[in-house]
Chain A
C-alpha cells in the first residue's frame, strides 16, 4: 500500500504554487513535508485530499487515482476545523458517521481516544468552552477516529504546550507503529526529525531537498564539530580564524568533512588546548532547513 504523487503541479493564474512535485510514501512510513509559509505544503495536502484540483500530475493510492481508491483518510488541518458551538460528542459522532461508522462504533472509538488524550471529561462540553490545546486534541481525535489508512497532519503541534506536544508525539508514533501511512507538515524540526523516514523541503513550490533523512544528512556538505567551551579554546579558534558558534557550554564548528575535523582537533592539541571531549555530529534538520530554505 502506498501513496504515489507524480508530477504534481498547481497554478493559480500566473502564480505556480506547486512545481512538478513527486514522492512516494509506503505503508507504515512517515513523509515529512517541510517549508516556509507559502512554500506549497498546504496546497499539496489539499490536492491529495481532493480539496484543490491539480493543474497537472497524478495522485494514486495503490495504483488507483486516490479519489476512486476508497482510501480512508484522516486529516488534521493547520487551522482548527471544528463546529465551535457543537458538543464534542455530537461533532465526533457526525464526523465518524460520515466516514461510515455506526453510532456504536463511534461511541467506542470516541471513548477510547478521549481517554488516550486524557480529556474524557470534555465529551459533553461545547467545543468553544475548551482551551486551544484541547480543541487541537479534539481535532486529532476527529482525524483518527475512523481508523484511517492515510493520515495527513498539517502542523499538528501548533498551539500545544510541551506536555501535550509529547502526548501528540506518542499518539503519532503509535499510529505509525500500527502501519499507518503518514504525511506530516510541521515547522518543529526536532519532532519531524524524530518521526520521518523521508522528508522533502519545499521552496516556492519546488522540492529543493528530498529523500530519506539518513541519506540527506549523510550526504550533506556540512557536519558539526562540538567541543566543550573554554576561554583558551575560544582565543585559539579566533587566532586560527576558524568560525564557531557559542552555545552555553559548547562550541560548534561547521566542517566539510571528517578529515577537516580531525585536522582542527590536531591543531588545537598541538597548541596545548585541553579537549576533555568532542563530538562529530551530522547536521540537524533545522540547520539543513535554514541553509536550503531560509
Chain B
C-alpha cells in the first residue's frame, strides 16, 4: 500500500515537473549565492592572512597602514612614495632589527608585477605560517639581469629557465614603454605558494636600477642606456626603494622600533604591524560582508517562499489527486508526510545543485579572481560551517513546507474520497 502511495507521489511530481524544476533552479541559485558569499568571506580572509607571516614590520612612505600593506605585500594599488636608501640602511642597522628585505615596485612584465629585491627575500619571506619560498627549478638570481619568476607566471606564459624576458615600465596590463635594451633571463621558478608571489617577477635591485639608466627625466633618453659591456660606467646603487620588510630579534621590541620609524626625523615613514593592518582591513570589510551575507540569506528565503507558493497554488488542483490517494488507502497523515517530503526533496536536490554550481562557478572564476585581485581561493570540500548553513536552509524549507502540508491534511480530512470543487 505504501508502495502505491510512493509511486503515485513520484508520478505526481513528474506530472508537475516544469514548475518543480523551476523551483529547484531558483532555490539552487539562492543556495549557491549564500554559500558563495560565505566561502568568499572566509577564504578571502584566510588567503590574505596566509600571504605574510614572520614579518614584524612593513616599512614604507607615510600613508595608511592598510594601503601600505596592500601595495607592498599584495601588490594591490600603487605606492604613494619611496623610502630613501639611506633611511633603509639606517633602519637595518638598528640593534633590535634582525633582518630587512628591500622591495622595489613599479615595473611589470606582460601584466605581472616586477619586484626588485635582494637574495634576502628568498631567505626571510614567509607565508602561510612560517613556510619558506621553494624553487621548482633553477635558483636565486645572481647577476644583474637574472629573474626569478612565480609559479603562475611560468605556467601562464610557459616560461622555463633561460627564457629571455623584457620588462615594461609601469604596472598596467600593457605598456607602451618597454625596457627593450636590457632583457632579463629567467634563472629560477618558484613553487606555487597561493600568494601574490606566484604572479611576481623577482629581479635584483641593481637590475631595476640598470633598466632605468637614462631615465632621469622620466622617459628614456635615446642613446643612454645601460651597456653591459661597460659596467664600470654605472652606479647601480639604489637610491630609493618602495618598502621594506623588517624582522626583529624580539617581538617585544615591536612597538619601540615602530615608534622609532614613525618618528624618523629625516623623512616621513610609516611602520605597520602586518597582523594589525590585516585586522583593520577585516574590520573595515566586516560591514560589507555582513550586508552581503544578510542579502544572500534573504535571497534563500525568497527562494523558499517561491517554493511554498508553487505548492500552495497546486493545492486546489491536487485535491482530486489526494482523493485518489485516499482511495488506495492513504491516511490523512500520509498526505501530510507526502507534502513535507516533497518540500524536503525539492530542498535537497536544490541544495545539491547549488553546491555543484558553486564549484563550477569557482573553477571558472578562480583564475580571474586571482589575476585581478591577487586572491587565491582554494577549492576545498564544504566546511562544517557551510554544511550548517546548508542544513539551516533545508530546515527552513521543510518548516515552511509544513504550511501547505497542514492545509492538504485538512483538505483530505474534510474531502475524504469524494470531492466537490
Same complex: no
